[in-house]
Structure 1
Amino acid sequence: MAHYALSDKHYGKVFFFDDFTTQTEVNGCRVLGKTSDVISSFEDKQFDELLIGIGYKHLQVRKDLFETFSTAIPFGTIIHSSSWVDDTVVIEKGCVVYPGCIIDAKTVIRANTVLNIACSIAHDTEIGSHCFLSPRVAIAGFVNIDECCVLGINTTIIDNVKIVAHTQLGGATVVIKSINKSGLFVGNPAKFVR
């Protein structure tokens, strides 16, 4: 995320807050402190926008951090310049759209959601807050995905499908009917695992 934020010129500098490192710099970016230091660093004008770079295994942490800071600190949004986004699309704060994504008309991407490389989302679809779409996810039109869902690499979802919150779809899963029970689903067609 930091790499694309800098290389695609969304920001001149990127800083980290990291509760687990003892390093003062990660990948050439300065570490300003731990998450407990975010508010004071913002008040000290050390940064002006926030994005959450925590990945798909920690969606509840992503959600909690977003809810903690979103009323006090402006959240950025990154849409890589190689992605195509229709003029009617709504992408809320805190979202990151990686290179090569295509987002069709009247789609809504709710807050704090990540679309990884080469995702394709067709018209009239809504992706809930705090979701993580892995590379090459393909979603047809009129799909509704609730919050905190993980869509594995190469997942395919046909049109007019709804997916309940806290659902995880394994790599290459094909969803041909709505998922009304949260859990892990894999296969073609998608089958509940646990």
Structure 2
Amino acid sequence: MKNLAIIGSGDLGQLIAYHSTTSYTVVGYIDDFAEKDSFVENLPILGTVNDIEELYQNSIFDELIIAIGYKHFDLRARLYNQFSKNIPFATIIHPSSVIDSSCKIGSGVFVLPGVVVDRKVVIQDNVLLNVGVTIAHDSFIGKHSFISPSVAIAGFVNIGEKCNIGINTTVIDNVTITSNVQTGGGTVVINDLTLAGLYVGNPSRFIK
């Protein structure tokens, strides 16, 4: 199996490490805020972001993935753009999830248990699909976005980059959501969301 290094040793990093063991050997974390050679759940801190290229050149890891959450989308995107030109990024799909063979899945994607993605869906780079997400046919998820647990996305939906679609959000068919949108839990999206910002409610309304 290939060796995997994870940027970020917090809760998301530990979750990725836990779900990666069937397809990768996780060799450790890269974290600017943890002491090198210390351990998090028996995995070492390999160094900081500034050490990534040297670690890769020294064959410490084969592939990389980012475990930085939705509160830091700009950093998440910057790190992916910085390193993906020269370093392979892992795509990790939990074996209980169902991804149709017609789908296009980018690099750096993390898919948690119980996800169902139907025909001709495009998931771009550095996206997280959380537990129980369903995405119907012909939909599109833009780079660096987070799709929270139990989100239901109907067919022909287009979601932009760096979106955080909140838990139990429902998006009806043929809706476009612009980049940098967040939805609150249980939001129901029935029309295009054309302004970046936070939306809540049923039907969704713009908050800020």
> What is the TM-score of this pair, normalised by structure 1?
0.97
Q: Say yes or no: does 1:2 pair with 2:17.
A: yes
Give the alignment of 1:149-164 within 5 angstroms. Answer: 149-164=163-178
Distance in structure 2 (CA, Å) of the matches to 1:13 and 1:127: 27
Shift of 1:144: 0.2
Residue equivalent to 1:51: 65
Identical pairs, percent? 47
State the secondary structure of the residue aligned to 2:45: strand
Shift of 1:30: 1.2
Q: Which runs of 5+ in 2 are unaligned?
A: 1-15
Shift of 1:185: 0.5
Residue equivalent to 1:64: 78
> Does the CA-based 8 Å contact 2:17-2:26 persist in structure 1?
no
Match 2:154 to one of 118, 128, 140:
140
> What is the TM-score of this pair, normalised by structure 2?
0.90
Distance in structure 2 (CA, Å) of the matches to 1:14 and 1:189: 45
Q: Which runs of 5+ in 1 are unaligned?
A: none
Distance in structure 2 (CA, Å) of the matches to 1:50 and 1:111: 13
CA RMSD of aligned residues (A): 0.9
Aligned residues: 192
Shift of 1:74: 0.4
Residue equivalent to 2:7: none
- Which residue identity does 1:12 align to in structure 2? T
Shift of 1:22: 2.3
Relative to structure 1, the CA distance from residue 14 to residue 155 in structure 2 (aligned partners, 3 Å threshold; closer, same or farther) is farther
> Does the CA-based 8 Å contact 2:35-2:45 persist in structure 1?
no
Shift of 1:15: 1.4
Match 1:111 to one of 108, 115, 125:
125
- Which residue identity does 1:174 align to in structure 2? V
> Does the CA-based 8 Å contact 2:93-2:110 persist in structure 1?
yes
Shift of 1:14: 3.6
More strand by share: 2
1:35-94 Cα deviation digits (max 9, x unpaired):
111111101110000000111111111100000000010011001100011110110111
Distance in structure 1 (CA, Å) of the matches to 2:92 and 2:125: 12
State the secondary structure of the residue aligned to 1:13: strand
Q: Which runs of 4+ in 1 moved over 3 A?
A: none
- Which residue identity does 1:147 align to in structure 2? E
Shift of 1:21: 1.6
Give the alignment of 1:174-189 within 5 angstroms. Answer: 174-189=188-203
